Copies of this chain bind each other. A is one copy, B any other.
Amino acid sequence: MTENYKMLLAYDGTRYYGWEHQPNTDMTIQGKLEAVLTKMTGMPVEVIGAGRTDAGVHAKGMVANAHMDTQLSEQEIYEYMNHYLPDDIAILEVHKAADRFHSRYNAVGKTYCYTLYVGNGKPLFNRKYVYVPDRLPDLEQMKKAAEYLTGEHDYASFCGNPKMKKSTVRIVDEITIKQTGSYVNITYHGSGFLQYMVRIMTGTLLEVGYGKRTPESMVDLLEAKDRSQAGFTVPAQGLCMMKVDY
C-alpha cells in the first residue's frame, strides 16, 4: 500500500547543484534522494522538498515527503537511506504522514541562517560553511537595518528572479544578528523567501555594516521594488536551511 513518508534531512550542499533536478547532472539533492528511494522500492519515486535550496546552500532541517509503496518500517527506511546516500546527505528522521501532507504547500514558516566568519586568519575547519566578509561590519547598524526589513512587505527589491510573475509579498517575522566568538549568525524567520532573497538581504545588511548604506535607507529600498537598488548577493556557502514550520 502506498504511504506518504515525511523526512527530515540535512546536507552539505558544497558538491551539489542545489535541491532541484537539473539537466545533464545527477548532482542534486532531489536526484540523490529519488535514486536511493527508487532503488529501495523498485518503483519511480518523486521526492517533494519544502524549499528548493540553490547550488552550494546547506541544510540542517530540510523537510521532504514522498509517496512510496514499501514493506520497510520507518526505521528501516531511515537506515537504508543513510546507508546508500552519499556521506554529505543525512536523513535525520522518517515518519509516516497524512496522505495529503505536502512538504512545500503545507509549510507555514521557514528559518534560514547565514554565517559570517569575522575572526582573525582563516575559518579552517568551517571554511565551506561560512562567508568571510572583506572587513568587519558594524553589527549594531546591521541590527537597526534588519528591523526595517522585518514585517509584511513586497520584497521585490530582494528577489533574484527577474522573471518572477507571482506575488513578491512575504512576511519576515524576525531577523536576529548574533556574534558568538569569531562567527556572526544572521537568522531569518519568515513565511517564505524569494529566490536569493536571504543572500541579497544579507549582502544589503553587510553594506549597511560597512557604512555604504544607512539603516533608514531600507525604507526606500523596499519601496523601490527594484533588485538593482539592493546590495550584492553573498555566496551560497554561508547559507543553511535550518527549520520548516507546519
Contacts and interface: CB of A to CB of B under 8 A. Distances in A.
Interface stretch (A32-40, A85-93, A178-186): A85-93
A90 B121 CA distance: 7
Q: Give the oligomeric copy count.
A: 2
A96 B5 CA distance: 61
A130 B122 CA distance: 21
A127 interface: yes
A124 B66 CA distance: 23
A33 to B, nearest CB: 14
The bracket for how many chain A residues form the interface is 10 to 19
A114 interface: no
8 contacts: A12-B124, A58-B125, A82-B121, A82-B122, A87-B124, A89-B124, A91-B121, A92-B121
A129 interface: yes
A11 interface: yes
Contacts of A91: 121
A122 B87 CA distance: 8
A32 B113 CA distance: 34
A92 B91 CA distance: 36
A14 to B, nearest CB: 10
Contacts of A129: 125
A121 B122 CA distance: 29
A97 interface: no
Contacts of A121: 82, 90-92
Interface string A89-132: 11110000000000000000000000000000110110101000
A45 interface: no
Contacts of A10: 124
Interface in A158-183: none
A127 B125 CA distance: 11
A236 to B, nearest CB: 15
A96 to B, nearest CB: 19
A122 B82 CA distance: 8
A129 B91 CA distance: 20
Given A10-B124, A89-B124, A90-B124, 15 more contacts: A11-B124, A12-B124, A12-B125, A58-B125, A82-B121, A82-B122, A87-B122, A87-B124, A87-B127, A88-B124, A88-B127, A90-B121, A90-B122, A91-B121, A125-B129
